[in-house]
Amino acid sequence: SDKSGMRVVIELKRGEVPEVVLNNLYKSTQLQDNFGMNMVALVDNQPRLLNLKQMLEYFLQHRREVVTRRTIFELRKARERGHVLEGLAVALANIDEFIAIIKAAANPVIAKSELMSKAWDSSMVREMLARAETDTPGGRNAYRPEGLLPEYGMQTTGLYRLSDSQAQEILQMRLQRLTGLEQDKIVNEYKDVMAEISDLLDLLAKPERVTQVIESELKEVQAEFGIAGGDSGRRSFIEMNATELFTEDLITPQDMVVTLSNTGYMKSQPLSEYRAQKRGGRGKQAAATKNEDWIETLFVANTHDIILCFSDRGRMYWLKVWEVPQGSRNSRGKPIVNMFPLIEGEKITVILPIKGYQDDHYVFMATSLGTVKKTRLSDFSNPRKAGIIAVDLNENDFLVGAAITDGQHDVMLFSDAGKAVRFDENDVRPMGRTARGVRGMNLGEGHQVIAMLVAPAEAAEGAEAVVVDANGLAIPSSVLTATENGFGKRTPIGEYTRHGRG
């Protein structure tokens, strides 16, 4: 810290992501704070939920009403005070006669009655009220208290008739106010009250002056509660680019190994738990499995990647990699059925990791009855907890395969009769999510499709197509097939002749 303030520096360990650490500070400390506002207000005595603009508009309307009511109240008090001062001024102008009447009266009631029954001359009051006729809208009547009867106050004859309140104030007046200095104070106060009444009447007549009063009072609040000498008077800064933090923003990007077993147990592990081994190494156990279970799907994905999970009933569910339960190498993982609201008998059969929803990519799907369908990947970009329909299936039909394509692949379907068909994926036009699809393979009675394969783009060019491995060696693209009795073979994809779908 120094004379300019305090500066906080946070040094991170090697490998930490600054954005994630900052997001955690925003979430867990008062570095960034959120607060709720009750935006319900009474409008015309009815509760209404308002937006910020409406709230400000109604607040300013309320402030105008407050300033107007306050001005009317102050005007009434000023008129009443001016009326009393008029009576005192009349008494001072006729002080000898007033004293004689009071001395001759038997009691205060008779004295008051005598004072009110007579019309008095008062040049000072007449002069002030005459000036008011030209300076103020409404003339001298603008200075009269509300409810004052016409027979009281200044008359058209130029004489003045005292009201009850004026006569009572005169009777209660102390003798010390008869001095010349006190008389000057009464006259000066009366002039000030007349000026105040004129100003209040002008304020009520001009809405722009009401707005100026509201602005002035808000600045007084700012000066009282703001920082002394500050430009804005704020103790903190409001940034318009503040965004809501989600759980994912607090997760450090990290490569994870995700596994799914045949019986539906799923887990993730940091890729760093595995190390490269030389040829002939024993490897490491990826997951503990029971008898009759095996690892069906294994892939590496980032914690911020998305997993599309397809069930055999044609529905699709979303899962972020960071949401997959982490487990040790010796654990089975968690049942995937507990992660989604699956119906009885429904099973997740395909999981596809993606980084985003590219418009030029597709999800290609195949069913057990030979139906195929291609849908834009962007059509699956609106996650729902209950999942969505990926393909509409006929009765006794099931989804057996799904893959991400870019429109430049060949697709191969394999049946349990040992037959295969290869066709260009562009033979299938893109369809909506709820469409049933088109015929991809003709099947004999009692047979069904058991697998789908999307051939690499290089292999789609013909029999001589090759792909390049990690060492830069050219190898033919092949299909490995295995039978139920354990026989297997590897065949170049190019040896499967391309046909039209169906």
Rounded CA-CA distance 73/85 in Å is: 18
**pLDDT surpassing 60 at residue 452:** yes
pLDDT at 72: 94
Which pLDDT band, with edges at 50, 70 and 90, does 361 fall under?
A: very high
CB 439 within 8 A of CB 371: yes
**pLDDT surpassing 80 at residue 474:** no
pLDDT at 473: 47
CB neighbour class for 92 (10 Å; exposed up to 12, middle 13-18, buried from 19): buried
pLDDT at 450: 92
Q: Which residue has the higher pLDDT, 158 or 462?
A: 158
Which pLDDT band, with edges at 50, 70 and 90, does 302 fall under?
A: very high
pLDDT at 32: 76
For every residue of 80-145, DSSP letters joined together read HHHHHHHHHHHHHHTHHHHHHHHHH-SSHHHHHHHHHHSEEE-HHHHHHHHHHHHHSTTGGGGGSP
Rounded CA-CA distance 328/267 in Å is: 9
Superfamily of chain region 52-218: Topoisomerase, domain 3 (1.10.268.10)
The neighbouring-strand residues paired with 178 are none
pLDDT in tens, 52-110: 999 999 999 999 999 999 999 999 999 999 888 888 888 888 888 888 988 888 898 99
**pLDDT surpassing 60 at residue 491:** yes
Rounded CA-CA distance 502/443 in Å is: 9
pLDDT at 470: 46
What are φ and ψ of residue 411, in 5° steps?
-120, 140
pLDDT at 70: 96
pLDDT at 211: 94
Per cent of the chain over pLDDT 90 is 27
Q: Compute the C-alpha angle 216/219/225, nearest 5°.
A: 145
For every residue of 247-270, DSSP letters joined together read GGGGSPP-EEEEEEETTSEEEEEE
Amino acid at 227: I
Break the chain into its structural domains and give their ranges.
52-218, 253-460
pLDDT at 497: 85
Q: Which residue has the higher pLDDT, 223 or 257?
A: 257
Q: Which residue has the higher pLDDT, 216 or 328?
A: 216
CB 23 within 8 A of CB 250: yes
Tokens of 310: 């397809």
Which pLDDT band, with edges at 50, 70 and 90, does 281 fall under?
A: low
The full 3-state SS of 219-239, as one line of letters, equals: HHHHHHHCCCCCCCCCCCCCC
pLDDT in tens, 36-54: 788 998 888 889 999 999 9
Rounded CA-CA distance 453/463 in Å is: 17
Q: Which residue has the higher pLDDT, 153 or 392?
A: 392
pTM for this model (two decimals): 0.56
- Choices 3.40.50.300, 3.30.70.3000, 2.70.150.10, 2.120.10.90: CATH for 253-460: 2.120.10.90
pLDDT at 471: 45
**pLDDT surpassing 60 at residue 132:** no
CB 439 within 8 A of CB 502: yes
pLDDT in tens, 395-439: 889 999 999 998 888 899 999 999 999 998 899 999 998 888 999
Q: Do domains 52-218 and 253-460 have the same CATH topology?
A: no
What is the 3-state composition of the chain as percent helix, strand, coil, each rounded to the nearest 5? 35, 25, 40
**pLDDT surpassing 90 at residue 296:** no
pLDDT at 326: 87
